[in-house]
Amino acid sequence: MIKIGITDSKEITMVLDIVKKQFGHYRHDRKLKLVEDVKNNPLKYIDDIAWRTYANLIKAQSDAVVELSNRLKQPSFFGAEIIDETAKHQMYAAMKLPISVDGAVMPDGHAGYGLPIGGVLATDNAVIPYGVGVDIACRMCLSVFRDDVKVLETKRDELHSVLLKNTRFGLKERFERPSESKVLEDPLFGEIPLLRKLHGKAHEQLGSSGGGNHFVEFGIVTIPQDSPDLNLKAGKYMGLLSHSGSRGLGANIAQYYTRLARKSSPLADRYKHLSWLDLNTQEGQEYWLAMNLAGDYASACHHDIHRRIAKERHRQVQVYLE
């Protein structure tokens, strides 16, 4: 059912109950085709004894859908010839939103959920949770050490052990003795009900990196010329680079406020990831505050990783670059 666009848990339960009671003798493929037809053509089933409740629900949802504007504000494409076509169409759709002001897609633009990855959308006093992303504030952080780069070969096994001991990967991974951080003392954890529920998980996952394309690795950093700002002279240094975001905290914030956005600004299924929250509403303000807190938390996770590894190697971290 999810594949044909039925994603709401209450809606799924309703459909399953109807199919079980009225059409249990149908083959699986016939059941699926029937459900899909009801969803796409609710007016046909408004008076059907079995389907009328569900059909009226779908019709009401359709009537409430926000229409996209027929006037297209032209976005900017940098490197248009190499940008994925699907990404272009996603940005064209986003520019038709009544809240859209301007938009652009970078040369590495490719298809995402709602907005293209590598796309930027300016809105008028509104925020699109899915546009910000599920892994809020996913970023990279670099630490530079004064070690001779030769240690990357001579101490390879030692460095490998340090990484394994001080990093955690996977959706459910966490430290048995998590670190403390000022970000966990933020009063928002007590003021916003959702954040209050997530505080314990955020503490346990502090300093972990999640899954997917996240990583923590040692490498060589080349400083081409003396840098007074970084207090580093030209040369090659050993570096520690990490890539991750706001873990379960950010994911739960994104999912919760996306559901609220879809209720306050419902869009047709193929545009549902573009639903937004008005920043003049309580929900919009809550999301904005929670989103920024998730960004601070993502930064704290990186700093914890780098601090752990620097301490393990008895080395002082030279600089953080995020």
pLDDT digits (tens, 9 = 90+) for 223-235: 999 988 888 899 9
Return all residues near 63 (Cβ < 8 A) that are at least 6 apart: none
pLDDT at 8 over 80: no
Residue 170: half-sphere exposure toward Cβ, Cα within 13 Å: 6
Enter the pTM of the model. 0.76
pLDDT at 66 over 90: no
Architecture of domain 139-321: Alpha-Beta Complex (3.90)
* Nearest residue to 75 via CA among 112, 111, 105, 108: 105
Q: Residue 7 has what pLDDT? A: 67
- Running DSSP on this structure, what letter comes out for residue 269? G
Return all residues near 197 (Cβ < 8 A) that are at least 6 apart: none
Return all residues near 300 (Cβ < 8 A) that are at least 6 apart: 181, 182, 183, 184, 206
Instruction: Summarize the confidence of residues 224-250 as an average pLDDT.
Output: 92
Count Cβ atoms within 10 A of the Cβ of residue 109 and give its class: 0-12 exposed, 13-18 middle, 19 or more buried: buried
The mean-pLDDT minimum among 55-59, 132-136, 182-186, 314-318 falls in: 314-318
Cα 135 to chain centroid, rounded: 3
Instruction: Summarize the confidence of residues 73-82 as an average pLDDT.
Output: 92
pLDDT at 292 over 90: yes
Max avg pLDDT among 60-74, 158-172, 268-282:
268-282
Where do we find the tokens 């990404």? 87
pLDDT digits 0-9 by tens, 111-123: 988 899 999 999 9
Q: Give the start-to-end residue ranges of the domains of the chain.
A: 2-64, 76-123, 139-321
- Running DSSP on this structure, what letter comes out for residue 263? H
Return the number of other C-beta atoms located less than 10 Å from residue 297's C-beta. Answer: 25
Where do we find the tokens 């076509």? 85
Q: Residue 62 has what pLDDT? A: 61
Q: Residue 282 has what pLDDT? A: 95
* Cα–Cα dist 265/271, whole Å: 11
Taking each continuous run of H as one helix and of E as one strand, the counts in the chain are 11, 9
* Cα–Cα dist 305/195, whole Å: 23
pLDDT digits 0-9 by tens, 139-188: 999 999 888 899 999 999 999 999 988 888 876 666 777 788 999 999 99
